[in-house]
Amino acid sequence: MVDSGLYEIVAYTPDFADALRRIYLEGRRYAFPWMPADAYRSEDFDNAVEGEQILVALHGRIAIGFISWWAPDNFIHCLFVDPAFHGAGIGTRLLNACLGNIGRPAQLKCVAANEAAIRFYTRRKWRAVSQGSCDEGAYSLMMLY
- The rounded distance, in Å, linking the Cα atoms of 145 and 139 is 19
Prior bond to 33 cis, omega within 30?
no
Amino acid at 46: D
Predicted confidence (pLDDT) per residue in 20-32, tens digit: 999 999 999 888 8
Over residues 51-108, the pLDDT tens digits come to 999 999 999 999 999 999 999 999 999 999 999 999 999 999 999 999 999 999 999 9
Q: What CATH number has the domain spanning 4-103?
A: 3.40.630.30
d(CA 89, CA 98): 14
